[in-house]
Amino acid sequence: MAKVAFIGVGNMGAPMARNLVKAGHEVHVFDIVATNMQSVQGAHMAEQAQFAVAGAPFVISMLPESRHVQSLYLGEKGLLAHIAPTALVIDCSTISAQASREVAHAAADRGIAMMDAPVSGGTNGAAAGTLTFMVGAQEEHLARARPLLEQMGKNIFHAGAPGAGQAAKLANNMLLGIMMAGTCEALALGVANGLDPKVLSDIMKQSSGGNWVLERYNPWPGVAQGVPAANHYAGGFGVDLMLKDLGLATEAAMASKSVTTLGEVARNLFALHSRLGHGKLDFSSILKTIQNHTD
Amino acid sequence: MAKVAFIGVGNMGAPMARNLVKAGHEVHVFDIVATNMQSVQGAHMAEQAQFAVAGAPFVISMLPESRHVQSLYLGEKGLLAHIAPTALVIDCSTISAQASREVAHAAADRGIAMMDAPVSGGTNGAAAGTLTFMVGAQEEHLARARPLLEQMGKNIFHAGAPGAGQAAKLANNMLLGIMMAGTCEALALGVANGLDPKVLSDIMKQSSGGNWVLERYNPWPGVAQGVPAANHYAGGFGVDLMLKDLGLATEAAMASKSVTTLGEVARNLFALHSRLGHGKLDFSSILKTIQNHTD
Amino acid sequence: MAKVAFIGVGNMGAPMARNLVKAGHEVHVFDIVATNMQSVQGAHMAEQAQFAVAGAPFVISMLPESRHVQSLYLGEKGLLAHIAPTALVIDCSTISAQASREVAHAAADRGIAMMDAPVSGGTNGAAAGTLTFMVGAQEEHLARARPLLEQMGKNIFHAGAPGAGQAAKLANNMLLGIMMAGTCEALALGVANGLDPKVLSDIMKQSSGGNWVLERYNPWPGVAQGVPAANHYAGGFGVDLMLKDLGLATEAAMASKSVTTLGEVARNLFALHSRLGHGKLDFSSILKTIQNHTD
Amino acid sequence: MAKVAFIGVGNMGAPMARNLVKAGHEVHVFDIVATNMQSVQGAHMAEQAQFAVAGAPFVISMLPESRHVQSLYLGEKGLLAHIAPTALVIDCSTISAQASREVAHAAADRGIAMMDAPVSGGTNGAAAGTLTFMVGAQEEHLARARPLLEQMGKNIFHAGAPGAGQAAKLANNMLLGIMMAGTCEALALGVANGLDPKVLSDIMKQSSGGNWVLERYNPWPGVAQGVPAANHYAGGFGVDLMLKDLGLATEAAMASKSVTTLGEVARNLFALHSRLGHGKLDFSSILKTIQNHTD
């Protein structure tokens, strides 16, 4: 079992760190919110991030945005100065591919191996140890990280070189945002034309409209069980988090002059939905704004 | 085996009728293009539609647009006047739900049972007898039609009352159009950011971006075999046919004041693609317009 | 002064007819809602439309939708059978270009001259006699109609042959819908980035963003006076009427395979806005949905 | 007459600097491309930017992107360290409002007054001295700058505090992008429905569709003279420059969670148009992609 430094133990990081503790690792956590650290029982709490990483062969980070990751690792006071050159740094944050590459290059300049491994699966997946990792890394680095990742997740995809994990995640989540809003449009259109939402869902699921949303995450209340739509859109993957991911896709599209018209329209639908006051609901609640009726 | 009148034996109708002949039915075909009729070997060719339907317990029609179906069945010279009240009329055309209901009501006024059963699966599915039928019908009428439908198709979905088959098909195909264009956007964005299209396809297929397009119809040349993208986008489901279906969805959305922003944007992407000269290619060729690069 | 039959004296038709009475014409009105007729003082009320048109050299109609116009004039019981071949029929309804041409052709078959002359300017313009007419007509027919039109409106544009008036109006109003929503987006974006809405309006009005909305119809409350935004979006041009006009543009775009992506997105924004319960407000209220904030 | 340092004398900066020379100022230019400097006859060429600004009461910069402005002024080797605290810095670059504020704050920290004054009017306006300036500045700073600005431009708008000039410009140009594409859609729709583009342009110009594009910049070849459409879309305001400005609007919209659906769709239309190989044409050439026909 290894010594693992884990920086950022919020809603996602804490259950991930707990799974590493459970697997027998010596986990040293740090979070700028001290009470977050207390939620990882069995872990060592560090007063500063640099204390957590000292001598650790693995450093994992799980932070909200690009600027947090950049500010953690880079600069004169950055953590890279305190990490052993033999260590492997695994950043699980969902940030821009560009920021991810920037930090990986800075790490490489110091001889430190770094990989991006953003996740999907939400807090439930983090707790259950069933996350999906999309990894941007050299082959040998992924091989070294795999045992750790397998204690936190189920599917581990190798997307390519550093930065590729972020690129894969933003492409996937942009498609997910389009599919969720598109599935809501199709269901609302069918229902407005006399169809039963469950019957239509079943038909499309087995036809060329079939997709993950219809299989696992039906947005229409009453059609599926155990999904946010069955629970007033509580829990799940929040509208504002989807909005953040769609924003990362937009940035990548602008940087590469890509055409993502549907992605942009989906982003604006979620932005409008958030402005209507639904930012904290699960993202399948976009149905409410698409299907809204006042009569 | 039954006597079946089959009106409209073009690209889709002809192979469907051939499957009925093969199953042993006495098939009487009519088409305004006489040479079309000759392509259904073993069928009786009628000089007029009314001769084909005389005494037939089943009447099947497969025509291009709403106006053709309306003009075939309705009015003083319409075919309903020549169909036996005990007959079952199965319209397999993809037309507007509204036109479909209008004809079904006119049939009901004469005591004739009518159902809409639009198909998906294309000319390949028609030839192989593996079409999907989306049926709008009373239960007992579908029960009567089922043996015939099973000789032409594999999946038979009961969407609801007359008109519901059309509503289900247009909702499904609108979602398909959105997913195809959305999947192309996600793949193009990923590739522009350094990913391999096959690797990204595999990742999204197993993640929350998973959908029928990635499973069966990958639009990126070289990723999947046996799909139109592997064959210069020849064959398959034409851009102009997708455009027609998206137009039916638009009509239904306007009639029901539904919000289908992504559906409309997808329709305009296919319209633009068609105007660029690609109307006859398979609809997965939308990738060319989304990813176009001139350097 | 001439005998004029005026069919359809609702919100728009009544003030138009009143202006003709005021100008000294002998006006015979008909409306299926009897009380509507009473609002045109000095006019003769007809019990049936055919009585109104008997012997009238001018027939004007102002009806809500294509189907009303078709049903008024066409068919065995249609009004064309009762109109003198020497009469000039002026349809001021806003309907589809296709329906307009269909009725004009049926009139021509009977030797009756017909023109489409849809208006803009709303109920205020109708009352003030300052409407804008967009006319589809032969030159000589417009020349005959001009004196009448000038008593109801200020600007009279000759768009082309019959049907062209409708085509011009739907193109103009689609652009207006795009500009209104686009101007709201620009103002909301500027204000969210620290600008004063009045200062920004003034700058854009004099720059390359200048348009009719900024000049005459500023949607931001407090910026301009005498506009619906200054009066809680009451009065003016209703959201549902804009939605109707954008729908006519969509129909025309689909029939001509035109690409109108922005037009479609604008239509869906107004549809969403209407579903949120604002269908009866002035169309500049779209700002509320674009700029909505819950904090 | 004053000593003026002018950093960045490319396509836009050079003619602006020439107008200052012409007005009698002592202009010291710097550009990383040495030959650019030679195009400003009568100016002093500086070997380094810091030599140009030494002792100059006015410093003007005109650079391509946010990062160039940041890298010019900020950091240990940044130009701010060499500018006199009594000087007034006028950045005419079109960059993000956020980057603009960042540099203005850094200047303020050193007691240096800074204002953003992005322009519109293109290279023609720069040469003719008829640019429009949108200024973000304190009142007294604008008062000091006004005489200089009036030698380079005609309209000087005070948008608000530092950063407001950029915010106003991106709001205006987003609206311009929407209006250009929207006007093209309306014209193409009308022409596809039988109208003459000149007649339709005249009608809309005088109606509620009226806007700057129809007044000054008609995109339909043959309708107006002296516009890029009359010259194969050469000259004018390039597609890729419009794309850059729409990208700045997107960034501002994401930062402020604003809904700019039409702005995003317009941006993607220009991105698609650029990918089709038209990036260097005038932005009114978007008509080609919207109206494209292959028959």
Q: Residues of B near C (CB-CB distance < 8 A)?
A: 243, 247, 250, 254, 257-261, 264-265, 267-269, 271-272, 274-275
User: How far off is chain C from B239, nearest CA to CA, in Å?
Assistant: 13
Q: Where on the phi/psi map is residue D291: left (φ > 0), alpha (ψ -120 to 50), or beta?
A: alpha
Residues of B with catalytic roles: 169
The pLDDT of residue C295 is: 45
Residue D42 amino acid letter: G
CB within 8 A of A159, min separation 6: which ones? Answer: A134, A135, A136, A165, A167, A168, B195, B199, B200, B203
Q: Which of B264, B274, B275 sits opposite C264 (nearest CB)?
A: B264
**How does DSSP classify residue C283?**
G
**Would you call A46 helix, strand, or coil by DSSP?**
coil
SS in 3 state form for chain D? CCEEEEECCCCCHHHHHHHHHHCCCEEEEECCCHHHHHCCCCCEECCCHHHHHCCCCEEEECCCCHHHHHHHHCCCCCHHHHCCCCCEEEECCCCCHHHHHHHHHHHHHCCCEEEECCEECHHHHHHHCCEEEEEECCHHHHHHHHHHHHHHEEEEEEEECCCHHHHHHHHHHHHHHHHHHHHHHHHHHHHHCCCCHHHHHHHHHCCCCCEHHHHHCCCCCCCCCCCHHHHCCCCCCEHHHHHHHHHHHHHHHHHCCCCCHHHHHHHHHHHHHHHHHHCCCEHHHHHHHHHCCCC
What pLDDT, on the 0 to 100 scale, is given for residue C20?
Answer: 98
B243 Cβ neighbours under 8 A, 6+ residues apart: B267, B270, B271, B274, B279, C257
Token pair 């997965």: residue: B284
Query: Which residue from A253, A165, C55, A210 is spatially nearest to D250, judged by alpha carbons?
Result: A253
Q: Quote the minimal CA–CA distance from A189 to chain C in Å.
A: 13
Contact between residue D100 and residue D166 where contact means Cβ atoms under 8 Å apart: yes
* D101-142 pLDDT per residue, tens: 999 999 999 999 999 999 998 888 999 999 999 999 999 999
Task: Quote the minimal CA–CA distance from A264 to chain D in Å.
Answer: 6
**CB B36 within 8 Å of CB B10:** yes
Q: How many CB atoms lie within 10 A of CB B50?
A: 16
Q: Shortest CB distance from B292 goes to which of D276, D291, D292?
A: D276
* Radius of gyration of chain B measured on its C-alpha atoms: 20
> In angstroms, what is the C-alpha Rg of chain A?
20
Our CA-based measurement puts residue D67 at a distance from the nearest CA of chain B, in whole angstroms, of 21
User: What CA–CA distance (Å, rounded) separates A105 from B133?
Assistant: 55
Q: In this complex, do D247 and A268 lie within 8 Å of one another by their Cβ atoms?
A: no
Pairing verdict, β C119-120 and C131-136: antiparallel
Helix axes C164-192, C239-255, angle to 10 degrees: 120
The four Cα atoms A86, A92, A98, A104 give a dihedral, to 10 degrees, of 0
Termini Cα distance of chain D: 62
Q: Which residues of D touch B261 (CB under 8 A)?
A: 261
Q: Which helix (H) or strand (E) holds A88?
A: strand A88-91
Report the pLDDT value the prediction gives residue C294, as an integer from 0 to 100.
53
Active-site pick, D3, D22, D77, D169:
D169
Least Cα separation, residue D21 to chain C (angstroms): 27
The ranges of chain C with pLDDT < 70 are 293-295
Q: Which residues, listed in sequence order, are joined to residue A135 by a DSSP beta bridge?
A: A158
SS3 category, B42:
coil
Residue D5 bridge partners (DSSP): D28, D59
Q: What angle do CA C262, C207, D247 make, to 5 degrees?
A: 50
Nearest CB neighbour to A275, from listed C265, C277, C292: C292
Q: What's the confidence (pLDDT) of residue A295?
A: 44
Residues of C in contact with D163 (CB under 8 A): 193-194
Nearest CA in chain D to B292: D275
Burial (Cβ within 10 Å: 0-12, 13-18, ≥19) of residue D143: exposed
Q: Write out pLDDT tens, residues D159-215.
A: 999 999 999 999 999 999 999 999 999 999 999 999 999 999 999 999 999 999 999
Contacts of A95 (CB under 8 A, 6+ apart): A63, A65, A66, A69, A116, A118, A166, A248
Contacts of A250 (CB under 8 A, 6+ apart): A260, A263, A264, A267, D250, D254
Check B294 against D272: CB less than 8 A apart: no
Q: Do A157 and B202 touch (CB under 8 A)?
A: yes
Test B207 with A132 for CB contact under 8 angstroms.
yes
Residue among B222, B234, B232 at smallest CA distance from B197: B222
Cβ-based contacts of C195 with chain D (< 8 Å): 159-160, 164, 167-168, 171
| Under 8 Å between Cβ of A87 and A57 | yes
Q: In this complex, do B190 and A171 lie within 8 Å of one another by their Cβ atoms?
A: yes
Q: Return the number of other C-beta atoms located less than 10 Å from residue C294's C-beta.
A: 9
C198 flagged as catalytic? no
- Residue D258 CA to residue C191 CA, distance in Å, equals 10
Which of A130, A135, A172 to probe the B interface (max B CBs under 10 A)?
A172
**In chain A, where does DSSP find H-type helix?**
13-22, 34-38, 49-53, 66-73, 97-109, 122-128, 139-152, 164-192, 197-205, 212-216, 239-255, 261-273, 286-291
- Identify from D102, D258, D259, D275 which residue to disrupt to test chain A contact, counting A C-beta atoms within 10 A and taking the largest count: D259
Question: Residue type for C38, please?
Answer: Q
Q: What is the CA radius of gyration of chain D?
A: 20
**How crowded is residue C189: how many other Cβ atoms within 10 Å of its Cβ?**
27
Report the residue of A269, A272, A286, A291 to disrupt the C interface, i.e. the one with the largest count of C CBs within 10 Å.
A272
Cα gap D37→D214, rounded to integer Å: 38
**Cβ C258–D195 below 8 Å, yes or no?**
no
Chains that touch C (3 or more CB pairs under 8 A): A, B, D
Query: A128 CB contacts (<8 Å, ≥6 apart)?
Result: none
Residue D249 to residue D266: CA distance in whole angstroms: 11
Catalytic residue among C22, C77, C154, C169: C169
| Contact list, B195 vs chain A (CB under 8 Å) | 159-160, 164, 167-168, 171
Question: Looking at chain D, how many residues does it have?
Answer: 295
Q: What are phi and psi of D5, to 5 degrees?
A: -90, 130
pTM: 0.95
Catalytic residue among A3, A77, A154, A169: A169
Category of D277 on φ-ψ map: left (φ > 0), alpha (ψ -120 to 50) or beta: left
**Inter-chain contact B261–C272, Cβ cutoff 8 Å?**
yes
With bands split at pLDDT 50, 70 and 90, how would you rate the model's confidence at D235? confident
Q: Do B276 and D294 touch (CB under 8 A)?
A: yes
Residues A203, B168: C-beta atoms closer than 8 Å: yes
What pLDDT tens digit does each residue of chain B (295 aa) get? 789 999 999 999 999 999 999 999 999 999 999 999 999 999 999 999 999 999 999 999 999 999 999 999 998 889 999 999 999 999 999 999 999 999 999 999 999 999 999 999 888 899 999 999 999 999 999 999 999 999 999 999 999 999 999 999 999 999 999 999 999 999 999 999 999 999 999 999 999 999 999 999 999 999 999 999 999 999 889 999 999 999 999 999 999 999 999 999 999 999 999 999 999 999 999 999 999 865 4
| Chain C neighbors of A272, CB-CB under 8 A | 272, 289-290, 292
Q: Residues 6 or more apart from B224 whose CB is under 8 A from it?
A: B201, B217, B218, B230
Regions of chain A with pLDDT less than 50: 295
Q: Which two tokens stand for residue A152?
A: 């936190």
Distance from CA of B240 to the nearest CA of C (A): 10
Residues of A within an 8 Å Cβ radius of C: 261, 265, 272, 275-277, 289-294
Contact D270, D242 (CB under 8 A): yes
In sequence order, what are the residues at sequence separation of 6 or more whose Cβ sits closer than 8 angstroms to the Cβ of residue D212? Answer: C207, C208, C209, C210, C211, D176, D179
Under the phi-then-psi rule, with left for phi > 0, alpha for psi from -120 to 50, and beta for the rest, what region is D236? left
Size of interface C-D (CB pairs under 8 A): 248
Q: Do C157 and D192 touch (CB under 8 A)?
A: no
Question: Greater confidence, D220 or A75?
Answer: D220
Closest CA to D285 of D268, D275, D273, D271: D273
3-state SS class at B261: helix
**Two tokens at D210?**
């009226």
The alpha carbon of residue B213 is apart from the nearest alpha carbon of chain A, in Å, by 7
Which residues of chain C does B265 touch, with a Cβ-Cβ cutoff of 8 Å? Answer: 261, 264-265
Q: Are B263 and A185 in contact (CB under 8 A)?
A: yes
pLDDT at C88: 97
Q: Where are the alpha helices (DSSP H) in chain C?
A: 13-22, 34-38, 49-53, 66-73, 97-109, 122-128, 139-152, 164-192, 197-205, 212-216, 239-255, 261-273, 286-291
Who contacts D15 (Cβ-Cβ below 8 Å, separation ≥6)?
D123, D126, D127
Q: Do D179 and C182 touch (CB under 8 A)?
A: yes
